[in-house]
Structure 1
Amino acid sequence: MNLALKDTLHAPTRFALTALGVAFLVMAVIGMTGLYRGIVEDALLILDRIDADLWVVQGERAGPFAEGSAVASDMDRRVEGVPGVADVRRFTQFSQQFSFAGASRRATVTGVDVPRDDGRWLPLAEGRWLGGSRYDAVADASTGLKVGDRIQLARDVYTVVGLTRQMVDSAGDGLLFVGINDAAVIARRRTSEEVHLARAAGSGGGAVSADASSVAQESKISAVLVRLDPAADAARVIATMQRWGDVRVMTMGEQRDLMLNARLWKLRLQILTFTGMILVITAIVVSLIVYTMTIEKLHEIALLKLMGARESVVVGLIGQQAALIGIAGYVLAIGLSGLIFPLFPRRVVMLPADLAQVALALTLVCAAAAWVGIARASRVGAREVLS
Structure 2
Amino acid sequence: MNLALKDTLHAPTRFALTTLGIAFLVMAVIGMTGLYRGIVEDALLIIDRIDADLWVVQGKRAGPFAEGSAVAADMDRRVEGVPGVADVRRFTQFSQQFSFAGAPRRATVTGVDVPRDNGHWLSLAEGRWLGGSRYEAVADASTGLKVDDRIQLARDVYTIVGLTRHMVDSAGDGLLFVGINDAAVIARRRTSEEIHLARAAGTGAGAVSADASSVAQDSKISAVLVRLDPAADTARVIATLQRWGDVRVMTTGEQRDLMLNARLWKLRLQILTFTGMILLITAIVVSLIVYTMTLEKLHVIALLKLMGARESVVVRLIGQQAALIGIAGYALAVVLAWMIFPFFPRRVVMLPPDLAQIALALAIVCTVAAWVGIARASQVEAREVLS
1:144 aligns with 2:144: yes
Give 2:201's aligned residue.
203
Tell me what 1:209 maps to: none
1:17 aligns with 2:30: no
Aligned to 2:175: 175
| Pairwise CA distance, 1:58 | 0.1
Runs of 4 or more consecutive aligned structure 1 residues displaced over 3 Å after TM superposition: 191-199
**Following the alignment from structure 1 to structure 2, what is the Cα–Cα distance between the partners of residues 12 and 198?**
75
5+ unaligned residues in a row in structure 1: which ranges? 207-214
Q: Does 1:360 align with 2:379?
A: no
1:259 aligns with 2:262: no
The answer as to 2:47 corresponding to 1:47 is yes
Deviation at 1:119, TM superposition (A): 1.8
* SS at 1:97 equivalent: strand
Residue of structure 2 in register with 1:116 after alignment:
116
Residue 231 of structure 2 is matched in structure 1 by 231
Q: Which amino acid aligns with 1:25?
A: L
Amino acid aligned to 2:326: G
Distance change >3 Å, CA 296–CA 197, structure 1 → 2: farther
Structure 1 contact 112–118 (Cα < 8 Å) conserved: no
Residues 133-183 of structure 1: per-residue CA shift (max 9 Å, x gap):
100100000000000000000010000000000000000000000000000
Paired residue type of 2:358: V
1:109 and 1:198 mapped to 2: Cα distance? 25
1:31 aligns with 2:18: no
Secondary structure of the structure 1 residue equivalent to 2:317 = helix
Aligned match of 1:211? none
Residue aligning to 1:322: 322
Q: Secondary structure at the match of 1:124?
A: coil
187-196 or 331-340, larger mean C-alpha shift: 187-196
1:205 positional shift: 3.5
Identity of aligned residues (%): 89
Distance in structure 2 (CA, Å) of the matches to 1:333 and 1:191: 53
CA contact (8 A) 2:112 2:178 kept: yes
Report the Cα distance in structure 1 between the residues aligned to 2:194 and 2:23, rounded to whole angstroms. Answer: 53
Instruction: Look up the match of 1:339.
Output: 339
Name structure 2 gaps, 5 residues minimum: 205-214
Work out the CA distance in 2 between the residues paired with 1:31 and 1:121: 29
- Structure 2 CA distance, aligned partners of 1:83 and 1:367? 62
Q: Is the 8 A contact 2:72 2:216 kept in 1?
A: no
Distance 1:311 1:151, change over 3 A: same
Q: 1:191 and 1:335 mapped to 2: Cα distance? A: 53
In structure 1, give the amino acid aligned to 2:66. Answer: A
Amino acid at match of 1:254: E
- Displacement, 1:120? 2.8
* 1:308-352 per-position Cα deviation (integer Å, ceiling 9, x unaligned): 000000000000000000000000000000000000000000000
Map of 1:56 onto structure 2: 56
Equivalent-residue separation in structure 2 for 1:149 and 1:37 (angstroms): 32
How far apart are residue 273 of structure 1 and its match? 0.1
1:218 CA drift (Å): 2.0
Question: Which residue matches 1:185?
Answer: 185
In 2 relative to 1, CA 36–184 (structure 1 residues): closer, same or farther, beyond 3 Å? same
Cα shift at 1:193: 6.5
Aligned partner letter, 1:110: T
- Confirm or deny: 8 A CA contact 2:93 2:110 kept in the other structure: yes
**Cα deviation code 1:264-320 (max 9, x no counterpart):** 000000000000000000000000000000000000000000000000000000000
- 3-state SS, counterpart of residue 125 of structure 2: strand
Distance 2:306 2:191 in 1: 87
Matched residues in 1 for 2:27 and 2:65: separation?
31
> Which one-letter code corresponds to 2:96 in the other structure?
Q
> How far apart are the structure 2 equivalents of 1:160 and 1:190?
24
SS at match of 2:24: helix
Counterpart-to-counterpart distance in 1, 2:258 and 2:357? 26
Deviations 1:186-210, CA, capped at 9 Å, x for gaps: 00012456457758xx53248xxxx
- Residue pair 1:29, 1:275 contacting (<8 A) in 2 also: yes
Q: TM (normalized to structure 1)? A: 0.95
Give the whole-Å Cα distance in 2 for the aligned partners of 1:306 and 1:197.
96
Partner of 1:153: 153
Q: Does 1:134 align with 2:134?
A: yes
Aligned length: 377
Specify the alignment match of 1:300 in structure 2: 300
Taking the aligned partners of 1:327 and 1:126, their CA distance within structure 2 comes to 42
Cα gap change, 1:192 to 1:266, in 2 (>3 Å): farther
Q: Which amino acid aligns with 2:382?
A: A
Could you tell me which amino acid in structure 2 is paired with residue 20 of structure 1? Answer: L
* 1:281/1:216 CA distance change after superposition, 3 Å: farther
Structure 1 distance, partners of 2:281, 2:226, is 50
The structural deviation recorded for 1:122 is 1.3
How many Å separate the matches in 2 of 1:47 and 1:175? 14
Q: Secondary structure at the match of 1:109?
A: strand
Instruction: Look up the match of 2:79.
Output: 79
